[in-house]
Amino acid sequence: MSTTQRRAATPRRPPPSAPLGAFRYRLMLGLILLALCMLGARIAYLHVIDRSFLQGQGDARTLRVESISAHRGMITDRNGEPLAISTPVVSLWANPQELPPDDIQRLVLAKALDVDLDDLNARIARYSEREFMYLRRQMTPADAQEVLDLNLPGIYRQLEYRRYYPSGEASAQLLGVTNVDDRGQEGLELAYNNYLSGTPGKRRVLKDRRGRLVRDLHLLKEADPGGELVLAMDQRLQYMAYRELKAAVQERNADGGTLVMMDARTGEVLAMANQPSYNPNNRAGLDPRSLRNQAIVDVFEPGSVMKPLAMSAALETDRYSPDTVVDTSPGWMRLDNRFTIRDFRNYGKLTLGGILRKSSNIGMSRIALDLPDTAVVDTYRRLGLGQSPGTGFPGEADGTLPAPVRLADSQRASLAYGYGLSVSALQLASAYTAIANHGRRLPPSLLKRDEPPEGSVVIEPRVADELLGMMEQVVQPDTGAHRGVVPGYRVAGKTGTVHKASGGGYEEDAYRGLFVGIAPASDPRLVTVVMIDHPRGGDYYGGLVAAPVFSTVVGNALRLLDVPPDQDTLQDTPSSADAP
């Protein structure tokens, strides 16, 4: 069969009729035109009638409200010298889901951040389900820009502030520190955190899809910086006090030390130094013990430096005067059948002034036992001991005093020479302002005062003046406190040497050496407490380890404060004297 015959045999379908094809064509065309009309109507509706929808969608992808960091308020000394300032820094953060997975780019990023690649990869994996993670906090703007210049996707910056302390370790415990979020964590930074913290502002900005700033549109709210805190501290005196205290602690191989210097006329704390200390600008390897401001939060038994304060209770009675004689023979006494009190040696008969000069425990005990049961405790309480100093410093100690009830003879005696109670160095300095200020005790202040406080009279003015004169005789070239002499100035003071308490008893070979002094005695300007904790190497008496620090610091301080020298001072120092 030929090809022509096969074709002829195959049945042919009839072509579609013309009317059906035309209908289909018109139907499809109509549907397309209808869809175009509906699309056009929708476009017109969204652009003309309901413009807010598209505008909102666009704004949601490009407009952002950013926080404007408010810098923390500055802390200055009384003369306006900066002690704590906030410097601008940059924190880098990333969206882990946008970071490049390429190992080479990750390695470049790790080197720019100065981190280990494995650590970086581990952090990215840990935050892989989130959209935010910090890459590095508080970088300098220059270092942060080097990372941003890599132009890697998913990396963004955040402007912040970091605290910087120009005085370094000299005033670290007093000022305290802030954390990485610039919030106070210790010291005055914590106590006044709300005042120092600023209120962040807000601004509206335009960003591209990668989060990069395109344009700053307008300011919504200005940032309100934190308030400025002016301390009573004099930075010059603080540096000097810290330097001398540190040198003494190192020389004596001591566990630590504390120095508090108060203005005798205002109660302001002009210097407060502690050892050991730390650098608040570099806290790597920080020992938590060095964070404590020992002068305020630590308490100790003060020992013989309490004798002038206890003696005020006797001088306020009609039975005692500075010339009253007390027999201290034979140099020891036993109380309550178990408690033995001893002097350094048998001093025999001593006046009250002699008791202070020789630091006689027996003399003070006999006086205390001759007074009403609670006379000494009541005097201590009036002087602010056993209660909060009221500075507002975090963790400030109240100290301890026995309850004002009938006490055993051994308790009454030991309180008179500084055992059986605990005080902080700041409390001790504040108590001595009553002697320096004609009987008026001034509450301590860490902040600069606009005018001196009224204070409260806690000792008769006559008694305070008598005690000041008696204490001046303690610090003479021929006494155990001769190392506390300040050339050119009259000084009143008292030494103290006390066993350290431990485990319900006292450590046999561990002591604290103290010296409390008022200078110049002719017109008191400074009250200073020095405590050296557990000095080693043989010398541990307060007159040997603490008094020299007082002499150097106070002598320099009086000259810095332009206090005129006294004309009638003894300046020769003997080679030996009674043990303090």
* ω into 574 cis (within 30 of 0): no
CA distance 410 to 407: 8
CA distance 529 to 563: 19
CA distance 32 to 195: 69
Give whole-number Cα distances, 314 to 332, 401, 429, 557, 563, in Å. 21, 19, 21, 34, 33
Q: What is the secondary structure of 311-323 as a DSSP string? A: HHHHHTSTT--TT
Cα 89–Cα 94–Cα 100 angle in degrees, nearest 5: 130
CA distance 260 to 173: 13
Catalytic residue (one of 91, 304, 410, 414): 304
Exposure string over 144-183, b if 16+ CB within 10 A, otherwise e? beebeeeebebbbbeebbbbebebbbbbbbbbbbbeeebe
**Is 475 within 8 Å of 493 (Cβ atoms)?**
yes
**Annotated catalytic residue 304:** yes
Q: Identify the H or E element spanning 97.
A: none
Q: Give how far the C-alpha of residue 364 lies from the chain's centroid of Cα atoms, to the nearest Å.
A: 38
Q: Identify the H or E element spanning 471.
A: helix 461-474
* ω into 330 cis (within 30 of 0): yes
Q: Which residues contact 239 (CB under 8 A, 6 or more apart)?
A: 167, 170
Catalytic residues: 304
